[in-house]
Amino acid sequence: MNDEGVTVVWQGKYDKFYIGGEWVDPASNATFDVISPASEEVIATVPQGVAADMDRAVGAARAAFDSGPWPRMSLEERSAIMRRFSELLGERQSDVAELVTAEMGCPITLSNGMQAIGTKLVLDAFIDNAPLVNWQSTREALNGKALVTKVPIGVVGAIVPWNAPLLTSMLKLAPSLLAGCSFILKPAPNTPLSAYLMTELLEQAGVPDGVVNVVAADRDAGEHLVRHPGVDKISFTGSTAAGRRIGEICAQDFKRLTLELGGKSAAVVLDDADLDVVLPAIRAVSFRNTGQVCSNKTRIVVAKSRRDELCDRLVSLVESMPLGDPFDPATELGPLVSATQRARVEGYIEAGKSEDAKLLIGGGRPAAQGKGFYVEPTLFANVDPNAKIAQEEIFGPVLAIMTAADDDEAIAIANNSKYGLNGSVFSVDEDRALGVARRILTGTVEVNGAGSGFSAPVGGFKQSGLGRECGIEGFDAYTEIKSYGISEDMYDKLSG
């Protein structure tokens, strides 16, 4: 452990960037401090990338794509290297989890599951799905014959958030590399340490020089990456406001773009729902990562006849969830990532109080935590569906409970949002639940808490983004479709 009591699992080159297959000195002396959300102490200092660093990374990625071996390898060859990368991730699972917990405060049990195991599962799913993609096909029409292929899109710039740094990185890295692209990763300033470890493992796995480049940077350098003419594709996960700005920039040059943005997902509890199914699901996917997940179900829409029972049981649920040291395996609620994020969440709690919602539990800072960016898990009932806490993404452990007279009103409340990322429906009648789910305007809906897995596409309707990640569809964002007119002999050869 270091002086702050935080386990240090990778004593690597925190003073350098990984560009062109080498650990290189940064172009400036600017740095970021990585602050423990639990202790409020500095646990590491890393260089802050500037435009010159991004230029160098783009140059390396461009050379690797234009003249390097990676795009010219077979899918089988690229997959073999990525399987080795997966093996190394598995061997370092506990290290990945500890780094993410240290830098962003995710409870260690969840870090082991969502952040470490989940990252490997995403990679493995992409490796398994890659051969199922229709990379090449032949087409025939009265006026000609064609070969239709999917080819790598080129140089990919990926900008990822702090809440699940490696998981969101892998949603972009795995399909990019398997498709034959080169890659530039800009991790968030809060969470660069896990990216350093991932980079070391990619290097060990045998990814050729320049195929992956990693530069931690602020928004200005990130915008430079987005604007760079050497970048063919931007993939961004983060806020809708930042996504809108990136979309405006990319539109100027018709640059390819994937956006996975905000959410305000609803859990719809119908009048026949089994609360013994509902409560564990809310525990798992409403308070997950102390509320700091875009797909969390933070609006609870309950049938009027079940409101009081559900509210009572939700209060008991919150009281049963241990809050504290994120390195304690028993902890379910850790600190928020930063003082800024805590202030944001507290502002929404005050808004809920001012809008006459009923505060059931929480609403303050836990007295037992002298240090750290902690906020009590908070429940508001009798929330107006148009209230601020029902419409805006809070990104903290705050749930808004609303009531509906019938299924139609529940669906209307669920769809009363500028977002459309995720949702869930609970009913003992699965056909009824699926019928309601079909009418909810989101990219994913979980029926009775059932997850869809990493082979199904995820993404958002409305202001929750553009494009899809995961599944066979996840490769579409990193390929271009190319057609060739061919002779009848060539057609017969390729079709056979």
**Closest to 127 measured CA to CA, from 74, 160, 184, 78:** 78
Using one digit for the tens of pLDDT, what is the confidence trace for 414-459? 999 999 999 999 999 999 999 999 999 999 999 999 999 999 999 9
Rounded to the nearest 10°, the torsion over CA 23, 64, 248, 396 is -40
pLDDT above 80: residue 17: yes
**Closest to 266 measured CA to CA, from 282, 243, 277, 279:** 282
Task: For residue 310, report the phi and psi dihedrals to the nearest 5 degrees.
Answer: -65, -40
Which residues have C-beta within 8 Å of that of residue 119, sequence separation ≥ 6?
Answer: 89, 96, 166, 167, 169, 170
**Whether 87 is catalytic:** no
Using one digit for the tens of pLDDT, what is the confidence trace for 29-88? 999 999 999 999 999 999 999 999 999 999 999 999 999 999 999 999 999 999 999 999
**Segments of the chain assigned to CATH 3.40.309.10:** 265-447
Q: How far is CA 165 from CA 80, 124, 134, 267, in A?
A: 24, 18, 30, 26
> DSSP of 362-416, one letter per residue?
--S--TT-SSS-----EEEES--TTSHHHHS---SSEEEEEEESSHHHHHHHHH-
Q: Is the pTM of this model over 0.85?
A: yes
User: Of 106, 181, 250, 294, which residue is the catalytic one?
Assistant: 294
pLDDT above 60: residue 10: no
Res. 496 pLDDT band, cuts 50 70 90:
confident
- Positive/negative CA dihedral, 133, 138, 143, 144: positive
Mean pLDDT of the chain, nearest integer? 95
pLDDT above 50: residue 4: no
The reply to whether CATH 3.40.309.10 applies to domain 265-447 is: yes
As beta bridge partners, residue 138 has: 147
**Segments of the chain assigned to CATH 3.40.605.10:** 17-261+464-482
Which residues have C-beta within 8 Å of that of residue 392, sequence separation ≥ 6?
Answer: 264, 348
Please report the pLDDT score of residue 13 as a whole number.
56
The two structure tokens encoding residue 74: 């077979």
As a whole number, mean pLDDT of residues 186-200 equals 95
**Closest to 322 measured CA to CA, from 278, 376, 364, 276:** 376
Please report the pLDDT score of residue 258 as a whole number.
98
pLDDT above 60: residue 194: yes
Q: How far is CA 492 from its chain centroid?
A: 44
The reply to whether CATH 3.40.605.10 applies to domain 17-261+464-482 is: yes
CA distance 279 to 347: 27
Please report the pLDDT score of residue 6 as a whole number.
40
pLDDT above 90: residue 180: yes
**Closest to 426 measured CA to CA, from 447, 454, 396, 455:** 447
**Whether 393 is catalytic:** no
- Positive/negative CA dihedral, 454, 213, 94, 325: negative
Please report the pLDDT score of residue 1 as a whole number.
38
User: Of 260, 332, 376, 469, which residue is the catalytic one?
Assistant: 260
As a whole number, mean pLDDT of residues 125-149 equals 97
Using one digit for the tens of pLDDT, what is the confidence trace for 255-312? 999 999 999 999 999 999 999 999 999 999 999 999 999 999 999 999 999 999 999 9
Which residues have C-beta within 8 Å of that of residue 323, sequence separation ≥ 6?
Answer: 331, 332, 333, 334, 366, 369, 374, 376, 377
As beta bridge partners, residue 323 has: 333
As a whole number, mean pLDDT of residues 101-111 equals 97
Is there a contact between 374 and 365 (Cβ–Cβ < 8 Å)? yes
